[in-house]
């Protein structure tokens, strides 16, 4: 339905959970919420087609979507939790170490304004153990920013989110899960998907430091987030309370079984639509196909 | 008098046993197809059986108004019965069967203090003919009371103008539609009681002491469930609400209504308004002094074939027992299975609907999974373990009516799929919010529900769903709701088509751009050189291959 369904390989994770080929997820009959948000589950600017379901993470998001006129919001829980179901920890008793820190990130149309060095200094001064900085692909490819973080610790990037079904790192979430399972703590300077994912993967979550700012960002939303989820903010929030809150946001307890999810996504046996791909490749690949 | 009327007088036949008391209606019958059927059914028949001991040897019974022959004949075997009928045609037919008949209007009834038992299960609105005074409810009851002996008993059905059957009626009771409605008072008969308490008070005022009162469903003339206000207040509420909804469902199968009477009946009973919104009240009232030997009537009687009574045990539980009606076992139904403790809890359908409108997915899945697993433990009754016939108390699932049996055993997944298809229909057409709003088609919603029940099967594997044995009522309110939903879906589909067109235009633009790039690349010197080189290489390869062979 929308290319955002493939972001981070969400559709691929859902296909694996449903017992289908994870490399070729069939077309999803609706919109999968592709990141934590405090609106209707859709990403900003997503051209919503009326009547199509939005597969949201939590019942709270469904209520919010309804109040915004989205009548078709359907709670599935987040793809992250489905990933946890298909990828049990191979070494559940292994030693975890240090903190993985996710600096607030920008994207193609909005960069982040703020002092990265000040944030790095605060994180290094706060965290007791080694720090892994996980940069979003956007900042990872900005050499100066990446260098700043590399001077302070290990730097990783889980991969490219994807766009218009192209370049999607379909193993994005698998890599993120493997990284999170190595760390004792997950932290960020803004509450977002990564902190929630980390809490669900067994890290103690924290949100602190200069929150920075997106270009043209509505700051009222950031303030509202701090007011509504204080249990997830701070250097050392109560891990039990914080994890419970994170799990609720991800839709723990709401997950559908494979057969039910298949029916919800339009993936019933005998009713499958072909996998979605970038429909028109670039001229170079057309040429090579013709030559073959 | 016209000559034609005089001619009719000459032809008037009076059968033996028939007394013309005056005010009779010639060429009229209360048994026309478009009129309300006479009072009857297995529950009323059983009630009369229980009351027969009230009539002493040689005692007299008056049956006032149209009653089903089965009731009258059964009674006639135990006592001396006289019928009061306003229709000459009906009176002639009854007298032909050997009964004593008073033919005429109620106002002409003069048999003062004659009867030990007066039965008016059809109510009192078909006792006065067009001739003479048109008695209101109270005057009619007074006329019946007068013919009772002291200590005699009146068995009276009183229609509730605010009963579920009235609330869902598409026609107003005050607008005449058939030939019998020449005096359509409806709720404007101010003498008519509107609650069981007022009914009791009015009868007391007429010198009648109420010994038993039951609220009935689904229709005044054919009750399939009678429960006393005490039973409705303190009895197994979930089972009684389900029984009321079930009785209404059978009576209104496919019938035109304003809104779904099943929901109204069930909700009223659960909310403690059962007696107030019942279709009618049945009273057993005694003209002072009350007989010492009045038979005890149970708190609940019900039945659509076999008749069961529900009684409270000394331990405070409720026991069901078959007491009459059709008691023989057949391959399709074994009434003996109704005997035993009455299942408690709430109807599974109501629990599911409650969870759906709360968007409580974990609860829906828990209910459905437990039910689907329980289906596996059943055998011949499995096909009838539909969500509208199952009670759930804690973790215990039980059949409300366990007597119905399938002649072939259906597999548990097949039974679940069939039942869930019906439940999907209920969700879609019954006007209920549910957690899967985009599943607007029964097949898809069934597949979702089957998955939510933990079954890894697709409904398509089980072929075309069989329509429900009891189709839902044909309800205007739900039609209105479906119309609104369809308009919305049409609007959504239009937007969807526009979106596809936009997507297509975008893809065509991309394709044009790609073709243009392709042409430019083919025209380039580098491409031409490469093409010549590739051609030469291909030729060389072919030569080499031929040389090898």
Pick from A261, A264, A283: CB nearest B514: A283
* pLDDT, tens digit only, all 549 positions of chain B: 344 444 455 567 888 889 999 999 999 999 999 899 999 999 999 999 999 988 988 899 999 999 999 999 999 988 999 999 999 999 999 998 888 999 999 999 997 889 999 999 999 999 999 999 999 999 999 999 999 999 999 999 999 999 999 999 999 888 888 888 899 888 899 999 999 999 999 999 999 999 999 999 999 999 999 999 999 999 999 999 999 999 999 999 999 999 999 999 999 999 999 999 999 999 999 998 766 677 789 999 999 999 999 999 999 999 999 999 999 999 999 999 999 999 999 999 999 999 999 999 999 999 999 999 999 999 999 999 999 999 999 999 999 999 999 888 889 999 999 999 999 999 999 989 999 999 999 999 999 999 999 999 999 999 887 877 889 999 999 999 999 999 999 999 999 899 889 989 998 999 999 999 888 888 888 888 888 888 889 999 888 888 887
Interface check A231 vs B, CB under 8 A: no
B448–A260 CB contact, under 8 Å:
yes
B457 neighbourhood in chain A, CB within 8 Å: 259
A263–B448 CB contact, under 8 Å:
yes
**Helix (H) or strand (E) run with residue B307 in it:** strand B306-312
Size of interface A-B (CB pairs under 8 A): 103
The full DSSP string for A117-156 is HHHHHHHHHH-SS-EEEE--HHHHTSHHHHHHHHHHSEEE
ipTM of this model? Answer: 0.89
Burial class (CB in 10 A: 0-12, 13-18, 19+), B460: middle
Q: Which of residues 457-486 of B touch A (CB under 8 A)?
A: 457-458, 460
B489 neighbourhood in chain A, CB within 8 Å: 51
B361 neighbourhood in chain A, CB within 8 Å: 59, 75, 254, 256
CB B122 within 8 A of CB B34: no
Q: Which of residues 249-288 of A touch B (CB under 8 A)?
A: 253-254, 256-264, 268-270, 279-283, 286-287
The full DSSP string for A20-46 is S-TTSPBPPSSEE--S--SSSSSPTT-
Which of B448, B461, B500 should be substituted to probe chain A, the one whose Cβ sees the most A Cβ atoms within 10 Å? B448
A283–B517 CB contact, under 8 Å:
yes
Question: Under CATH, which architecture does the A99-250 domain have?
Answer: 3-Layer(aba) Sandwich (3.40)
A69 neighbourhood in chain B, CB within 8 Å: none
Q: How far is A40 from chain B (nearest CA, A)?
A: 15
B451–A50 CB contact, under 8 Å:
no
Q: How far is B34 from chain A (nearest CA, A)?
A: 45
A62–B359 CB contact, under 8 Å:
yes
B460–A270 CB contact, under 8 Å:
yes
The residues, ordered by sequence, that sit 6+ positions from A102 with a Cβ below 8 Å of its Cβ are A134, A136, A186, A187, A188, A192, A194, A195
* CA–CA dist B462, B417 (Å, integer): 8
Q: What is the dihedral of CA A121, A126, A131, A134, to 10 degrees?
A: -70
Where in chain A are the domains?
A: 3-78+252-277, 99-250
Joined tokens for residue B284: 């057993």
CB B81 within 8 A of CB B87: no
A280–B492 CB contact, under 8 Å:
no
């Amino acid at each position: 339905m929308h290319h955002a369904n493939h972001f981070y390989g969400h559709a691929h994770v859902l296909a694996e959970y449903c017992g289908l080929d994870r490399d070729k997820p069939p077309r999803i009959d609706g919109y999968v919420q592709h990141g934590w948000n405090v609106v209707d589950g859709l990403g900003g600017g997503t051209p919503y087609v009326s009547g199509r379901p939005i597969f949201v993470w939590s019942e709270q998001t469904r209520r919010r979507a309804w109040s915004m006129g989205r009548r078709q919001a359907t709670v599935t829980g987040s793809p992250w939790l489905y990933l946890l179901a298909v990828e049990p920890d191979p070494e559940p008793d292994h030693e975890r170490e240090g903190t993985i820190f996710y600096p607030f990130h920008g994207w193609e149309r909005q960069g982040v304004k703020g002092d990265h060095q000040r944030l790095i200094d605060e994180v290094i001064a706060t965290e007791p153990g080694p720090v892994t900085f996980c940069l979003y692909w956007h900042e990872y490819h900005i050499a100066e920013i990446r260098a700043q973080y590399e001077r302070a610790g290990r730097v990783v990037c889980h991969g490219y989110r994807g766009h218009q079904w192209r370049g999607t790192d379909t193993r994005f979430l698998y890599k993120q899960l493997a990284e999170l399972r190595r760390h004792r703590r997950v932290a960020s300077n803004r509450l977002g998907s990564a902190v929630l994912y980390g809490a669900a993967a067994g890290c103690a979550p924290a949100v602190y430091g200069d929150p920075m700012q997106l270009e043209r960002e509505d700051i009222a939303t950031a303030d509202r987030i701090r007011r509504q989820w204080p249990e997830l903010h701070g250097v050392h929030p109560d891990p039990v309370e914080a994890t419970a809150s994170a799990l609720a946001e991800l839709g723990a307890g709401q997950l559908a079984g494979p057969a039910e999810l298949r029916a919800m996504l339009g993936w019933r046996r005998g009713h499958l639509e072909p996998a979605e791909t970038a429909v028109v490749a670039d001229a170079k690949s057309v040429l090579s196909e013709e030559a073959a | 008098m016209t000559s034609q009327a005089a001619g009719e007088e000459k032809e008037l036949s009076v059968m033996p046993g028939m007394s013309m008391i005056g005010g009779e209606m010639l060429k009229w019958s209360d048994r026309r197809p478009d009129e309300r059927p006479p009072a009857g059914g297995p529950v009323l028949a059983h009630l009369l059986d229980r009351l027969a001991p009230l009539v002493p040897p040689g005692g007299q019974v008056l049956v006032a108004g149209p009653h089903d022959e089965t009731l009258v004949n059964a009674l006639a075997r135990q006592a001396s019965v006289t019928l009061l009928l306003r229709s000459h045609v009906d009176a002639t037919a009854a007298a032909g069967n050997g009964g004593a008949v008073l033919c005429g209007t109620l106002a002409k009834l003069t048999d003062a203090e004659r009867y030990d038992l007066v039965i008016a299960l059809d109510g009192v609105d078909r006792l006065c003919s067009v001739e003479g005074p048109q008695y209101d409810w109270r005057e009619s009851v007074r006329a019946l009371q007068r013919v009772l002996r002291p200590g005699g008993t009146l068995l009276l059905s009183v229609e509730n103008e605010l009963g579920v059957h009235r609330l869902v009626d598409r026609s107003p009771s005050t607008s005449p539609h058939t030939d019998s409605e020449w005096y359509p008072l409806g709720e404007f008969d101010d003498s008519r009681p509107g609650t069981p308490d007022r009914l009791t008070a009015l009868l007391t005022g007429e010198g009648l002491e109420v010994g038993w009162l039951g609220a009935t469903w689904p229709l005044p003339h054919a009750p399939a469930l009678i429960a006393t206000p005490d039973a409705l207040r303190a009895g197994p509420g979930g089972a009684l609400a389900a029984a009321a909804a079930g009785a209404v469902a059978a009576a209104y199968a496919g019938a035109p209504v304003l809104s779904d009477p099943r929901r109204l009946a069930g909700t009223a009973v659960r909310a403690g308004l059962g007696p107030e919104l019942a279709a009618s009240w049945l009273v057993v009232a005694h003209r002072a002094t009350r007989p010492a030997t009045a038979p005890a009537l149970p708190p609940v009687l019900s039945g659509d074939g076999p008749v069961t009574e529900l009684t409270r045990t000394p331990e405070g539980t409720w026991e069901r027992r078959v007491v009459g009606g059709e008691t023989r076992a057949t391959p399709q139904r074994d009434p003996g299975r109704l005997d035993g403790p009455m299942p408690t809890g709430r109807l599974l359908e109501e629990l599911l609907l409650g969870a759906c409108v709360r968007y409580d997915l974990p609860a829906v899945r828990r209910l459905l999974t437990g039910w689907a697993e329980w289906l596996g433990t059943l055998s011949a009754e499995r096909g009838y373990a539909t969500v509208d016939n199952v009670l759930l108390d804690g973790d215990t699932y039980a059949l409300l009516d366990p007597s119905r049996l399938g002649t072939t055993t259906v597999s548990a997944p097949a039974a679940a799929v069939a039942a869930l298809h019906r439940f999907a229909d209920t969700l879609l057409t019954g006007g209920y919010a549910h957690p899967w709003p985009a599943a607007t088609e029964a097949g898809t919603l069934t597949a979702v529900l089957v998955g939510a029940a933990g079954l890894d099967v697709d409904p398509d594997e089980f072929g075309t769903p069989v329509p429900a044995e009891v189709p839902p009522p044909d309800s205007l309110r739900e039609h209105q709701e479906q119309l609104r939903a369809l308009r919305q879906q049409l609007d959504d589909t239009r937007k969807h088509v526009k979106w596809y067109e936009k997507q297509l235009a975008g893809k065509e633009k991309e394709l044009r751009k790609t073709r243009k790039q392709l042409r430019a690349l083919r025209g380039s010197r580098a491409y031409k050189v490469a093409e010549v080189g590739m051609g030469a290489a291909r030729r060389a390869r072919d030569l080499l291959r031929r040389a090898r062979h």
